[in-house]
Structure 1
């Protein structure tokens, strides 16, 4: 299925999506609430722990103003579980046709991960016009993404860079018209989560939002 324009528009408004995983389900809602209070209203909760799906369910049910995306979807069954949990969209670090088809079958808007022109063409062939560019910085960053995107500009591909993106380089990506939003894994500090420092996490969220505002328009 194609990515709904309303989600693309929401991501373009958010600009930064907070990426994180949770070890304990009880942390999920406080994290989401702290991010939201600081001004970040989109997340990518990764399925890297056993608590992942239950955490997605909890946030979807208890923090309805948060746009909930789920990352590290590696199997068709995971895509189905994410859809059933109520997530708005899913992403993966790589491109797997079986997962793309599984997401389509589950009705889950899905962005596969790409790094090369060949992977991008495979995504396009699978009707994926919104893709995760990963790992962004290790692949060559903005310079590489501009070169990658150029031959496909007429196809209106939207990119979601993650991996090495931080407050110091996020605006470089966001100035590219092809970039919908960036993923920020630096925002949710694990020590703060372990200490229950939700006020500190809210402040980190607010700092990112302020940096977006003071960095100028694209």
Structure 2
């Protein structure tokens, strides 16, 4: 749980061969490298530890000075800043497969969150337009790879993996949510049943 609470765990996933949106991190007292913020596709800046899309913004190409100011604000608050290249194909929607006890259950598609460039969000709706979605097999494989790379001998009881298409249209991991994420169980006729069955099986195993 501690591992998943900090976005620096994306570095562990990448080190295990999982395709992720490549992150750069700067801790308080660290050096902000201008080249990390000057990307042809623009960048996204966010805290390494956050929830509910708080203090996140995207910056268009040529606005890297604004992105640096955002990161410096986070550092001045004693927080680690993360910067990633903006994935423009996310405008077709985030894809989020959900797993119960390691088995794929269902998926949703969410509308893009960072619709206004340069706006640091504090009161955004975190999952706009969430709707049922049938993922491609390569999306399920990418999500499975992210879960397989979690440094735990125990399979997570539940998990959601947020994906976006990269420029070559292959799915890459944005987040893998293990800390009580919305699972959108009502978006699939069997979603709640799968979750209940997984919880019941875990309860039986713990009682033995």
TM-score (normalizing by structure 2)? 0.27
**Structure with the higher helix share, 1 or 2:** 1
Max radius of gyration: which structure?
A: 2
TM-score (normalizing by structure 1)? 0.26
